[in-house]
Chain A
Amino acid sequence: MSKSVRSWAFPWLGLISVGLFGFMYLPILVLAFYSFNDSRYSTGWKGFTWKWYIAFLNDSRILNALANSLIVALFAVGIAAVIGTLMAVGLAKYHFPGKRLYQGTAYLPLIIPDISIAVATLVFLAAIAIPLSGGLIQLSLGTVIAAHVVFCLSYVAIVVSTRLTDLNPHLEEAALDLGATPDQALMQVLLPELMPAIVSGCLLAFVLSLDDFLIASFTTGGGSSTLPMEIFSRIRTGVKPDINALSVVLITSTGFLFAVAEYLRYRSDRKRSA
């Protein structure tokens, strides 16, 4: 029976899928290939070299931008982890007038295009910063962090709230019945259960923050640029082998992060089903 079900489907299905796997990895392989190619302009192979890797490792502007990006991502994700988790738990626990409006607003950054968020934030910052110029709020890495918290918060909260709906709702009540204080029930019972979701939400937010070009370029002001801004300003003028080398390093490290995130999710899934 199952054989008849199988044989009716497209016979070329596997082939298409393999072809599309090639499509997904082709650009990455091309970048890797040219990052080791000993020629700036040639499409052909001109011998193996590490020089593009050495070039970008000695490029203080790139390293500075990378440091800026990491600072922004760490702070934004750190803040978002706390207030996003609190928000997700609060929304799951309490009912109050205007809850749907709150929820809708909280997940808006997942839907609104980056460019619109970027523009709105710039206008808002200009409205409060320009009257205070030389004063309170300056466009800087700080404003980038504040803007990144908005979307990081949504991503952390949505991952955590998915986990919350899967969780046994009586867990916290049981803890309270057994004599735990509300704080203890939250910190010692609920939080450990939510930890895998918080971590994977944070990793997602971290990668998205590192990847963001638009919001950062609208909110950073003239002073400091993040890594995507630095990359953008260079690749507009054509192909650069040291950017290829940088890509390979970044892709390898984000791939590693991804593997860690998936492993954590896998482990928590197994623990749950066990």
Chain B
Amino acid sequence: MSKPEFVYTIYIASTPEKIFEALTDAKMSERYWHGASVISDWKIGSPFALRLARHDKEVTGEVLEYDPPRRLSYSFRAHDGSDGGKPSRVTFELERQRDQVRLTMVHDRFEPGSVVLEKVSMGWPLILSSLKSYIECGKVLYAPWYENQAASPKLAVGGER
């Protein structure tokens, strides 16, 4: 059986510095993360929060790695308690490739039988596709379900609001 983890790789025409900034800046994240913002002072061990739009709730965690512009990692406790308060881990790795960056995101350390893995596996492709569009052309991607909660697939990563 394979390890319970979600891995996503995407190439973005940009620099590691710009992408690292987008991953750690509250205002920028709000744009491509559909109103959700990342909040932290980004010191190792400091609290991390992903404040979901139109929600009092937030994903919480701690900063595990902060190595600009190459690696960023934080622990991730689901906003709705669906992980029983046991955090998983999110890690971003940025590698410059000529005039682009390869961004690899790994979401791992799930408890056995976690329902969070399934939800984030649906959420991350949209968030990271939106990040790429935001950085490359200044546009963000809006999926209609952001406007229509009733039709919403269950997305844990900023998809719910």
Instruction: Check if A and B associate.
Output: no
